[in-house]
Amino acid sequence: MPFLADSPALNESWGFLTIKGSKQNVELEDLSKLYSFLLGLNKSNALKVKIDSDDVTIDDLKDFILNNTPFNNWEISVNKSLLILKDSGNVFNFFIQHNKLIEWLSQLDPFDAENPFHMFSPLILFTDEVEQPIVGLSFQILHYGQSVQNNSMQYKLPQASEINKIVHSVSAKDIVIDPSHFAFASTVDSDLEKKLYILATLTMVASIVNDFYSVEKIIVDGMRRIEMKLFENSDTVSQKEYQNLLKLVSWIYEEKASTRQKLFADRITLELDESRSLVFALSQHLENSLRQAEQRYNFVILERKDKYIAELKDLLKDIRNQSDLYSQKIRTLLNNLLRDVLAAVVLVGFTLFTKFSDNMLLDKELLLIYVFNGLALYYVSSILFQGIVDITDMYVSNKEILYWKNATKELISENEFTMHIETSLKGRKRSLWIIYSLIALMYFSVAFACYKFPVYFKKISTKKVEVKNDKIPQHTTPKDSCSQGGK
């Protein structure tokens, strides 16, 4: 409705719209149509109409039209917050006049957590006099009737979660540093885009400092530690400077952000003038400082890569030694078992063949019990002592490798370090516990057999005596009779 946009007394912001006029620049039918339109959307509560300072309803408007009631002034108040639409993940709003959108952008604080660019993302704004669609990573500004555009940004910018790992925010209020909510693909360098340049520039520059307090105070810590302003009202941002900032921020956060930010800070702090803002300094020295930081980064990465490989080799060597230690414990325990079994066989053979004979009654069973019970006790003590020593040794060794690697590692991350340890030693640990448990079970089995052997041996010997007694001849009487007769 043209009378809305052409009204000389129009006040508009994100959440409200107020329009005032006289009888000369409005037809009551237009007000009625607007009312009916909102009523059809079930949004009639978003509109308030006053005629000569009195609130009127749609029925009142119809009466005014029907009776041709004279009036002098009119006023429309629209609660735009109730008209905000959400569709397919996008949030839609509008501005009746193009210049009111520019005024609203001029008043925005890009670091305010309640900024609509942060709260409603992706955000679609409709207005008039937009020569070309303005398309950003998280917002678009379109002319009425245009459809939502595809993102054409060639740079990938960090989100707030990534920036918070680099920038230390020191502020009394809740702030958000997120250039991805304001960055856009510049096209025509219009007044509207220039306002957007400033919002995007403030967030991009804030994302490369070390400490952020406010627009009035930031700290850049490089070769020099400098406290200065982020932005001054006299600062301007051209399209070229904006593009250079896009390139800088995307390069810093592409990989190893802390390293790249440090290299750029080292270089730019040599050029900073504390009496001016950081935005102004970057407009003068960004290109040269970025080029030197990129060159320095290549050397640093090569140097760090060599150190990384050396550190990784040391880690793998230590892990290999740790792995061999697990294998050594298993082999040592198995050798001890075989040695002890062999000693037991020799001891048992010696005891059986020297202390007893086939015709000896078991009047020395007590000695046999002492020998085998002592042997059983020896096996139990042997596996217990070996187990205690080996487990303690493995535990201490594992603690040592973790301590020394945590104390000396510089380039390997904690997750990567843990992954190497787990991947290399997981199988070794599992096989150690399984085989160690089986060998320990064998020890206890042999000990139990030794403990029970005297009882079993007694039964065997008793049967042998009974068999021998059964084989002794029972014909002594006739022999004795004959001998007596001879005498």
Domain that holds residue 444: 315-470
Closest CA to 436 of 367, 387, 481, 480: 387
Is residue 192 within 8 Å of 102, Cβ to Cβ?
yes
Q: Is the pLDDT of residue 162 over 60?
A: yes
Residue 85 confidence (pLDDT):
81
- Asked whether residue 479 is assigned to any structural domain, the reply reads no
- Listed in sequence order, the DSSP H helices in 21-126 are 28-40, 58-67, 98-107, 116-119
In this structure, the answer to whether residues 104 and 185 fall within a common structural domain is yes
Token pair belonging to 258: 């802390």
Higher pLDDT, 8 or 9: 9
Range 151-174 average pLDDT: 89
Residue 461 confidence (pLDDT):
60
In this structure, the answer to whether residues 377 and 446 fall within a common structural domain is yes
Least confident residue range of 69-73, 326-330, 355-359: 355-359
Closest CA to 314 of 408, 177, 228, 238: 408
Burial environment of residue 154 by CB neighbours within 10 A (0 to 12, 13 to 18, 19 or more): exposed
Range 154-168 average pLDDT: 92
For residue 125, report the phi and psi dihedrals to the nearest 5 degrees.
-115, 130
In this structure, the answer to whether residues 144 and 185 fall within a common structural domain is yes
Is residue 319 within 8 Å of 421, Cβ to Cβ?
yes
What's the CA gap between 95 and 101, in Å, rounded?
6
Higher pLDDT, 213 or 355: 213
Residue 160 confidence (pLDDT):
93
In this structure, the answer to whether residues 79 and 91 fall within a common structural domain is no
Residue 487 confidence (pLDDT):
39
Cβ contacts of 387 within 8 Å, gap of 6 or more: 436, 440
What digits encode the pLDDT tens for the residues 220-246? 999 999 999 999 999 999 999 999 999
Residue 86 confidence (pLDDT):
80
In this structure, the answer to whether residues 372 and 327 fall within a common structural domain is yes
Q: Model-level pTM?
A: 0.62
In this structure, the answer to whether residues 101 and 191 fall within a common structural domain is yes
Q: Is the pLDDT of residue 485 over 50?
A: no
**39 pLDDT tier (thresholds 50, 70, 90):** low
Higher pLDDT, 424 or 349: 424
**363 pLDDT tier (thresholds 50, 70, 90):** very low
Q: Is the pLDDT of residue 481 over 50?
A: no
Range 56-65 average pLDDT: 76
Average per-residue pLDDT for the chain = 79
Q: Is the pLDDT of residue 339 over 70?
A: yes
In this structure, the answer to whether residues 23 and 149 fall within a common structural domain is no
**447 pLDDT tier (thresholds 50, 70, 90):** confident
In this structure, the answer to whether residues 71 and 172 fall within a common structural domain is no
What's the CA gap between 461 and 358, in Å, rounded?
9
In this structure, the answer to whether residues 102 and 243 fall within a common structural domain is yes
In this structure, the answer to whether residues 69 and 92 fall within a common structural domain is no
Residue 101 confidence (pLDDT):
93
- Asked whether residue 302 is assigned to any structural domain, the reply reads no
